[in-house]
Amino acid sequence: MTQTSPSSSPSLLRLAGLPYFLIAFIARLPFAMMVVGVLTVVVTARDSLSLGGLTSAAVGVGTAVVGPFLGAAADRYGQRPVLVIVAVLNALMLAVFAVVVYSPASGALVLLSAFTVGATAPQVAPMSRSRLVTIIDERMPRERRARTTSATMSYESAADESVFVFGPFLVGVLASLIAPWAPIALASLLTLIFVGAFALHPTGREVSASRAADGAAPSAASELFRPSLLVVVVGIFGVGLFFGAALTALTSFMDDRGAAEQAGLLYGVMGIGSAVLALGVAWLPARFTLHMRWLAFAGILLAGTILLATAGSVTGMTIALAVLGVGVGPTLVTLYSLGAARSPLGRSATVMTMLGSGVVVGQAAAAALTGEIAERAGTGPALLMPLAAAGVVVAAGVMNRLLTPVRR
Residue (of 236, 192, 235, 189) closest to 356 by Cα position: 236
Instruction: Domain ranges for the chain, please list them.
Output: 16-127+163-206, 217-408
User: pLDDT tens digit string along 233-283?
Assistant: 999 999 989 988 888 788 788 878 887 667 767 777 887 777 777 777 767
The CATH number that domain 16-127+163-206 falls under is 1.20.1250.20
| 330-340 average pLDDT score | 86
User: pLDDT tens digit string along 106-154?
Assistant: 889 999 999 999 999 888 888 888 888 888 887 777 877 777 877 887 7
Fold match, 16-127+163-206 / 217-408: yes
pLDDT at 286 over 60: yes
| Residue 143 CB neighbour total at 10 angstroms | 9
**CA 208 to chain centroid:** 23
Task: Please report how many Cα atoms fall inside a 13 Å half-sphere around the Cα of residue 150, on the Cβ side.
Answer: 18
User: pLDDT tens digit string along 33-69?
Assistant: 887 778 778 877 887 766 777 787 888 888 888 888 8
pLDDT at 219 over 60: no
193 or 368, higher pLDDT:
193
Domain 217-408 class in CATH = mainly alpha
Percent of the chain past pLDDT 70, that is, above it, reads 89
pTM of this structure? 0.76
